[in-house]
Amino acid sequence: MLTMEMEMEMEMEFRPRLSYFISKAKSVKDITFSKKTRVAILSCFTIYGLEESLKVKCAERKLGCMTYSSPYNQYNQDILSSASPLYEFSPNLTFMLIDTRTILSSLFYNPYSVSVSERREYIDNRVKELVNLVRKFTIKSKSKLIVANFHAPVYTPYGICETKTEYGLREMVSDLNAKLSYSLRNDPSAFVFDFDAFVAKYGEVNVYDYRQFLFGDIKVSLNCIPSLAEEFMGYINAELGINRKCIVLDLDNTLWGGIVGEDGFEGIKLSPQSPGTSFVEFQRVIQALHERGIILAINSRNNEDEALRVIREHPYMVLRENNFASIKINWNDKISNTKAIAEGLNIGLDSLVYFDDDPVNRELVSSALPEVMTVDLPKDPALYAQTLMNLNVFNTFSITDEDKRRGQMYIEERNRTQLEKSVINLDDFLSQLEIKINIREADKFTIPRISQLVLKTNQFNLTTKRFQEEEILRFSEDRNMLVGCAQTSDKFGDNGITGVFIVKKNPEYSEWNIEAFLLSCRVMGRRIEDGIMEYILNEARKEGIKRVKGRYIPTSKNKPCENFLPRSGFKKEGEDWILHLESKAE
């Protein structure tokens, strides 16, 4: 039997090495991918192979990735000169890596050569310089800037006295990191990549290879470059609005040990004692993800009564029935259950992550539904939690209040669906729902959510134009733009912000253009879009506008809104759909 260490070692071993990415990168042709991004890397040291690793990892996910690396240690010049190749490249995402050795200069070797107050002043000045550099960049570029923070080295010349020393080496670096994060916290275009946590994850001894460092100023060892690229993928996915939204879970030997149908309610392994601890731990990690807004679903071949009894009554279940937005416990095959979950929740298969201990089921789902991310669970349940924590697929650039409430919203949705089943006529259903639409103009509270919807909404999205948060902020401050959102609620609860519109005003032509109009899949089919359109048309009338122009740009996913403009009275004229307001005037 494999020990945990052996299994972990084997997993490390199977991780493709940098040479794999280098040779694979040559054959990557990303012209065929519809989603593309441009990534710039600014670094003060040699960072071989990162571009290749990013390109290959993107291609594996069917994403195009153009890259640019600043010449060795030229990041400053690249940022400061408006005519630099960096700005010419025009990145969407820019990663900046400066290492601890460089930022601390001679203090890296002997920080105690200067006084405590001088050390503090030194760090404060470095933070100011860094933040200045960040601001210079974000003013000049539309790109998001991801700044790596600094690794606090394990070795210090003071050894065991280090922690007895005021503002010692490690404290200096921690303070630098804290101040950097704090300074950039409210900047929507700048993010801090926790490089210190990256080193903790892979180990200082692995990330730094002294031979490579002394040979060629390589400060992230070649073998760790693919792992660094993997961390960066979290940002690339968020930038492209790709993220997994839902965890689909098998039950037996996945959420608990054993098979409830055979071992019985008391016989399954789920307790504060080993081996039941593995499953409790796994469930706790899932629960925390659920609380940040990840939807949970069950896909289990089981007797529903027996399985539900565990979920409802078992003293050590962490996840309970009301944590799950969709529950499929039946004897149907895993493929049709998975499809039914996605359809029921109105999300794409590419939003699902599937956990099942049975390799046969995994193979079945992954070959029939390749869009679903099927996780290769290790044989040892003790490693389940860690496997989940290592998935870097749930990232978004912000976590909004809507995200945190999402779990609750889906439970409310389950109740709505039950009402829908008992009411046959759609109009009756909608009127019984008592829908309220509150239109709000974009402000600093609503913009993060507006941007999130703009980046990820696929189905009810007329133009699928993806605007970044900073652009939306700019639009909202522009007198010739109307940016707003719809907050919807009904008798079952608050749905939060679920609709967005961006209108460009052209008063000189007495015309408004609908640049973006979209609706979260969560509230589709409730005619909320009609309410939002009515608001836009009324606003246009108030300003004496004669024409409102819209456009439907078809994609593989936005068929649900194909007929929305004609249904709202718009008439096709060339590429555009136009509504003449005079004709509607009463």
Taking the C-alpha atoms of residue 327 and residue 75, their distance in angstroms, rounded to an integer, is 51
Supply angle C-alpha 110, 113, 119, rounded to 5: 90
Of residues 499 through 518, those in contact with other proteins by CB under 8 A are none
- Cβ contact 226:218 at 8 Å: no
Which residue pairs from 109-118 have beta carbons closer than 8 angstroms and sit at least 24 positions apart in sequence?
109/157, 110/157, 111/156, 111/168, 111/169, 111/172, 112/157, 112/158, 112/165, 112/168, 116/166, 116/167
- Cβ contact 221:234 at 8 Å: no
- Range in contact with other proteins (rule: CB under 8 A) among 55-63, 122-130, 216-224, 562-570: 216-224
Q: Compare residues 17 and 128 and give the one whose CB is closer to other proteins.
A: 17
430: three-class secondary structure by DSSP: helix
Q: Compare residues 23 and 82 and give the one whose CB is closer to other proteins.
A: 23
> Which of 74, 212, 346, 464 touches other proteins (CB under 8 A)?
212
DSSP helix, strand, coil percent of the chain (3-state; round to 5): 50, 20, 30
> Which of 214, 360, 424, 585 touches other proteins (CB under 8 A)?
214
> Which of 5, 88, 164, 211 touches other proteins (CB under 8 A)?
211
Q: Compare residues 23 and 431 and give the one whose CB is closer to other proteins.
A: 23
Per rule CB under 8 A, is residue 215 in the interface with other proteins? yes
- Cβ contact 512:485 at 8 Å: no
**Beta strands 324-330 and 190-193: pairing type?**
unpaired
Q: Compare residues 22 and 368 and give the one whose CB is closer to other proteins.
A: 22
Taking the C-alpha atoms of residue 384 and residue 257, their distance in angstroms, rounded to an integer, is 12
Taking the C-alpha atoms of residue 404 and residue 389, their distance in angstroms, rounded to an integer, is 19
Site string for other proteins, 22-51 (x = CB under 8 A): xx--x---------------------xx--
> Which of 143, 223, 253, 387 touches other proteins (CB under 8 A)?
223
Number of residues that bind other proteins (CB under 8 A): 17
39: three-class secondary structure by DSSP: strand
Site string for other proteins, 64-103 (x = CB under 8 A): ----------------------------------------
Of residues 280 through 309, those in contact with other proteins by CB under 8 A are none
353: three-class secondary structure by DSSP: strand
Site string for other proteins, 421-440 (x = CB under 8 A): --------------------
> Which of 56, 146, 218, 450 touches other proteins (CB under 8 A)?
218
Per rule CB under 8 A, is residue 228 in the interface with other proteins? no
Per rule CB under 8 A, is residue 14 in the interface with other proteins? no
Radius of gyration for the chain, computed over Cα atoms and rounded to the nearest angstrom? 27
Q: Compare residues 220 and 482 and give the one whose CB is closer to other proteins.
A: 220
As measured in angstroms, the least distance from the Cβ of 222 to other proteins is 6
- Residues at the interface with other proteins (CB under 8 A): 17-19, 22-23, 26, 48-49, 210-212, 214-216, 218, 222-223
